Amino acid sequence: MSQPRIRWMATCASWAWGLGDAGVSSVIDGLQEPSNKKKLMTFLEGETKYDHIFLYRQVPDLPIRGDADPQDASGPPRIVVTFGEDDRIKSKAVYFFRSGIAPGKPVKLEVACGEDLLVGEASGNPLESLDTVLAGVLLPLIHTTMADTEAWGQCDGEQRSEFTTGMQRISNELTEALKSLTGGIELRGVEDVDGMLGDKLMQYAAMASYQEIVKENPEVPLQFEGLLDNWCRQVEQYLEESLDYSASSKMYGNDPGPRTELDFWMQRMQKITTITEQLKSRGCRAVFGVLHAVTRVSQDVAPKSRQVVFNTLRRWKQIDISITEAFNEAKDNVKYLSTLEKFIEPLYSGTPVTIADSLPAVMNAIKMIHTIAR
C-alpha cells in the first residue's frame, strides 16, 4: 500500500490522532491488516454502496453477552476501518468521502490528494459535534441572512422568524441535554472500589452466577453494600435538592418568564434519566446481582453481611420507587407544559397586539391542561 493517495490518507489520520509524521508508518501498517485493507480498497475502487469510510484508532470492544453495555478490551489501541454500521466510535475518527465520482469508478491512487476524496474529523461524541455545528455555524448563518429575502425564497418574515426561533430552541435544548449528562450525579462505579479487590471486581461482574461470587469471595458483598449505601445517600440528596426552584430561577435572574417552569421540569427529567441510565450499566447490575444473591444463599456463607445487605436493599427499594415517581412527575409536567410552547413564544418576541391576540389561546390551553391533569 505504497500509493501516494493511501499515504496521504494515513498522514491525515496520524495528524488527527496527534501522532504526527512519526505515526504515519504505524497507521499504514494498521491499514494493511486483511479486514482493513479489503474495506479500504473496495471503497477506493468504488465497489461498495458507501460514499464514505471511517478510520478509528481505539481499543476494541469485548464480546457482548446479552444486553450488556459494550466494554473496552485490554491492550493497545488498533486501527479500525469501518463504514460506520457496526463498530462503536469512542474517540476521534477520521472520515473520507468520495466526491464527484460515479459509483464503480476508482479514486486516483497515483496522486497524493485531489477533489475526488474529501477528508474530515468526527468526534467521539456526535451530540457535542452536532451542538457545535448548530450553535457555531448554522444559527449564525441563519441570523446573518434574515434580512436577505432573496436567500429565503418564498418565505415571508413570519415564517423566517418562526424557523429561526425553532432552530434556536433545538440548539438550546441540545445544549441543556449535554449539560444534564454531566451536570447530574455520577454514581461511583464498581471499577472505582479501592482495596485488594479493585482490579478483580469487573471480572466478578462478568461471572455468570452471582451466588458463586458470594460463596468464593465473602468479602465482596460488603464492598458492594458500601457502594449501594453511597448511591442511596447520593440519590436521596439529589431528589431533595433538585426540587429547589431557586436554582432554576437563577438562570433567568430576577425576571423569570413563562418558559421557566417548562425548562425546570425538562432539566429535572433529563438529570433523573442520567441516574436511570447509569443504573442500567453492567457494573451497577453486578452490584444488585451480588447483593440479591446474598439474600438467597445460606446464612453460613455470609453471616456478617446478610442482615446489612437486607437493610440496604430495603432502603434502596424505597429510593427506586422515589426515582420512578420523580421521573413520571417530571415527564408528565413536560408533556403538558410543552403544549404551551407555541403560545408562549409570542409573549417573548411578539408585539403588544400579537401578545393580546395570543392570550385567549394561552388561557384555553391552560384550561385544557387543568382539566386533563385532574
Task: Convert the pLDDT of each residue in 37-92 to its tens digit.
Answer: 999 999 988 888 888 999 988 776 665 555 555 566 656 788 888 888 777 777 88
pTM of the model: 0.59
Residue 202 near residue 283, CB atoms below 8 Å: yes
Q: Is the dihedral of CA 13, 17, 20, 24 positive or negative?
A: negative
Q: What is the pLDDT of residues 262-311, one digit of tens each?
A: 888 888 888 888 888 888 877 788 788 888 888 776 665 555 567 788 88
Q: According to the model, what pLDDT value does residue 348 have? A: 77
Tell me, yes or no, whether 261 and 116 share the same domain: no
9: enclosing H helix or E strand: helix 4-16
Tell me, yes or no, whether 229 and 350 share the same domain: yes
Tell me, yes or no, whether 141 and 193 share the same domain: no
pLDDT > 70? residue 204: no
The residue with greater pLDDT, 351 or 118, is: 118
Of 99, 124, 149, the one marking the end of a domain is 124
Quote the cell numbers at residue 80.
479500525
Question: CB count, 10 Å around CB of 267?
Answer: 22
- Cα distances (angstroms) measured from residue 280 to each of 68, 214, 274, 283: 9, 21, 10, 8
Residue 285 near residue 204, CB atoms below 8 Å: no
Question: CB count, 10 Å around CB of 286?
Answer: 24
Q: Which residues neighbour 216 within 8 Å (Cβ) at sequence distance 6 or greater? A: none
Tell me, yes or no, whether 160 and 92 share the same domain: no
pLDDT > 80? residue 181: no
Quote the cell numbers at residue 86.
457496526
Quote the cell numbers at residue 295.
439474600
- Cα distances (angstroms) measured from residue 283 to each of 117, 188, 191, 270, 279: 43, 10, 8, 22, 8
Q: According to the model, what pLDDT value does residue 96 have? A: 92
Q: According to the model, what pLDDT value does residue 203 have? A: 56
Tell me, yes or no, whether 112 and 137 share the same domain: no
Q: According to the model, what pLDDT value does residue 346 have? A: 77
Quote the cell numbers at residue 6.
493511501
Q: What is the pLDDT of residues 208-256, one digit of tens each?
A: 566 666 677 677 777 888 888 989 998 998 888 766 655 555 555 556 7
Q: What number is the average pLDDT over the span 130-137?
A: 88
Tell me, yes or no, whether 177 and 204 share the same domain: no
Confidence of residue 368 (pLDDT cuts 50, 70, 90): confident
Tell me, yes or no, whether 151 and 216 share the same domain: no
Beta bridge partners, 35, equal none
Q: According to the model, what pLDDT value does residue 195 have? A: 43
Q: Pairing relation of β-strands 52-58 and 78-82? A: antiparallel
Confidence of residue 166 (pLDDT cuts 50, 70, 90): confident
Tell me, yes or no, whether 83 and 146 share the same domain: no
Tell me, yes or no, whether 151 and 263 share the same domain: no
Q: What number is the average pLDDT over the span 23-37?
A: 90
Structural domain of 357: 189-373
Beta bridge partners, 121, equal 94
Beta bridge partners, 57, equal 79
Q: According to the model, what pLDDT value does residue 180 have? A: 66
Quote the cell numbers at residue 65.
453477552
Tell me, yes or no, whether 34 and 75 share the same domain: yes
Tell me, yes or no, whether 29 and 83 share the same domain: yes
Residue 345 CA to residue 258 CA, distance in Å, equals 9
Of the chain, the percentage scoring pLDDT greater than 70 comes to: 79
**Total domain count, the chain:** 3
Q: What number is the average pLDDT over the span 134-147?
A: 87
- Please provide the average confidence, as pLDDT, over all residues in the chain: 80
Q: According to the model, what pLDDT value does residue 247 have? A: 52
Q: According to the model, what pLDDT value does residue 165 have? A: 82
Q: In which order are the strands placed within the sheet that holds 52-58?
A: 78-82, 52-58, 93-98, 117-122
Q: What is the pLDDT of residues 310-327, one digit of tens each?
A: 889 999 999 999 999 999
Q: According to the model, what pLDDT value does residue 253 have? A: 52
Q: Which long-range contacts (CB under 8 A, 24 or more apart) does 160-166 make?
A: 161/349, 165/345, 165/349
Q: According to the model, what pLDDT value does residue 308 have? A: 83
The residue with greater pLDDT, 336 or 189, is: 336
Tell me, yes or no, whether 35 and 82 share the same domain: yes
Residue 296 CA to residue 313 CA, distance in Å, equals 13
